[in-house]
Amino acid sequence: MTTESIKQPPTPTLDRISAIREQSQAIGEFIEWLHDNGYEICKRHEADRTLIAEAARNELGSANLIDLVGWFIERAQAWQPVYKSIDSLLHEFFEIDPNVEEREKRALLDFIRTQNTKFP
């Protein structure tokens, strides 16, 4: 195969990233603003109800039903910080597979290198 017959590889993921760049930038800046102002992005964590019930029995012993229900509800749904980078959150939001993005980048770089050998 000669270098003249090599065509630029398709890059649908990179094209999509380019098309959403402004929107992605705005969302990323908002996430940074949240962090800079002390806000956390959190996700609800549903605890194992069996473990909570056992912990309630151990901690509260013979507590009345209202106390037990309150204790249970308080621990059954907890908010936990999401420890993801802005880039990771944006990939997830826009449903972009970072592995596909990387493969397309590498294919494009290989194409450019090939083209550069044609014109030293």
pLDDT digits (tens, 9 = 90+) for 19-34: 999 999 999 999 999 9
pTM of this structure: 0.67
Domain ranges in the chain are: 10-41+82-108, 44-80
Torsion-angle region of residue 95: left (phi > 0), alpha (psi -120 to 50) or beta?
left
Q: What residue spans of the chain are helical by DSSP H?
A: 12-19, 21-36, 49-60, 65-76, 86-93, 98-118
pLDDT at site 118: 74
pLDDT at site 55: 67
Confidence of residue 46 (pLDDT cuts 50, 70, 90): low
> What is the mean predicted confidence (pLDDT) over 55-62?
65
